[in-house]
Structure 1
Amino acid sequence: MNDNLFQLLNRMAGHYDWIDDFMEFCAQDIVLIMIAVIACLWLTGKESFQKSAFFACLTAAVSLLIGSLIISPAVDHPRPFVAHQVTQLIAHAPDASFPSDHATFAFSLAFAIWFTNRRLGVALLALSVLTGIARVYVGVHYPADIAGAIVLSFVVGFLVHKLSGILNFLPMIPIRIYRKIADKLTFLPRAQ
């Protein structure tokens, strides 16, 4: 099923330049939009938004560490272009593919925000889904790599959200630093 789903999506690649260009953007650069959203949350100066941004970054960091240091070496699944003849639209190292780092990063940010702000979280989840589909379309991941990233991101996001009350002191350190800087630089929003 994993191979069949991969072939279904990847078979569409290489036929229309504008679709390929869009999918390449989604596969590589859509995460930059998500980073910008997290940065905007932080720069509002509103403590609750800053905490959400902090915990989103923490969720992404923990998810990526677990994925790349524990799961990926244990599973050691080859990328589609290593195991099959594929239409590969972006260059990538032939390292282990499970779980997808891009999808893990995107879904970690999205789920972390979704737990505190449903509307913004849904928008970020939509961007994450585009990222995941595009990673398969461009030939660098299997659908199972994306599914693994979703599960990992959700579990870590849920645990971080549940522990955020205990971990509440962590975001206060950078928030205090931000407030000191904002007091000196008039163009930064003040704490709210």
Structure 2
Amino acid sequence: MNFSLFQTINDWAGRFVWMDDLMIFCANDIVWIMLVVLAGLWMTGKADNQKAVFYACLTAAVSLLIAAFAISPEVNHPRPFVGHSIHQLIPHAPDASFPSDHATFAFSLAFSLLFVKRKTGAIMLALAVLTGFARVYVGVHYPADIAGAMALSFLVGYAVWKLNGRADALPMFFIRIYRKLTAKVTFLPRP
């Protein structure tokens, strides 16, 4: 079923140049848009927004560490292009594919924000879903790789969200440092 669903999605690759270009962008670069959203939240200077950004980054870091050191080595599932003739639109090392690192990162940010900022989190979740779909479309992940990333990100995001309030001393430490540093920055007067 995993390969069958993969084929259904990946068979669209190579049909339309504009669609391929869009999916390549989504597969590789949507995470940069998500990081810009986080930077924008941080730059508001509001403590709640800055804590949300801190917890989103913490969720992503923990999720990626679990994926890299606990799950991927144990599962060691090959990528679709290793054992099948497929439409591969982007180059990728033939390393383990489960769970998807890109999708883990994107879903971690999305779920973390969804728990505290519903509208922003919903937008981020849509971007994460698009990232996951695109990773399958371009031929570097199976749908199960994306589902695994989503499940891991949700569980870690939920656990971090439950810490919210109890562990606020850590984000507040970094927020205070940031505020001290930016308070000392002076801008040149306008001519």
Q: TM-score, normalised by structure 1?
A: 0.96
Question: How far apart are the structure 2 equivalents of 1:35 and 1:100?
Answer: 18
Structure 1 vs Structure 2 CA RMSD: 0.8
Question: What residue identity is the alignment partner of 2:130?
Answer: L
Q: Shift of residue 4 of structure 1?
A: 0.5
Question: How far apart are the structure 2 equivalents of 1:10 and 1:179?
Answer: 47
Name 2:143's counterpart in structure 1.
143
Question: How far apart are the structure 1 equivalents of 2:55 and 2:142?
Answer: 28
Name 2:66's counterpart in structure 1.
66
Question: How far apart are the structure 2 equivalents of 1:163 and 1:37?
Answer: 23
Secondary structure, aligned partner of 1:12: coil
Question: How far apart are the structure 1 equivalents of 2:174 and 2:7?
Answer: 45
Q: Shift of residue 182 of structure 1?
A: 2.1
Q: Shift of residue 186 of structure 1?
A: 4.8
String of CA shifts for 1:97-136, please: whole Å, max 9, x gaps.
0000000000000000000000000000000000000000
String of CA shifts for 1:125-175, please: whole Å, max 9, x gaps.
000000000000000000000000000000000000001222111101110
Report percent identity of matched pairs: 65
Name 1:180's counterpart in structure 2.
180
Question: How far apart are the structure 1 equivalents of 2:75 and 2:3?
Answer: 17
**Does residue 134 of structure 2 align to residue 171 of structure 1?**
no
Question: How far apart are the structure 2 equivalents of 1:139 and 1:25?
Answer: 14
Runs of at least 4 residues of structure 1 off by over 4 A? none
Q: TM-score, normalised by structure 2?
A: 0.96
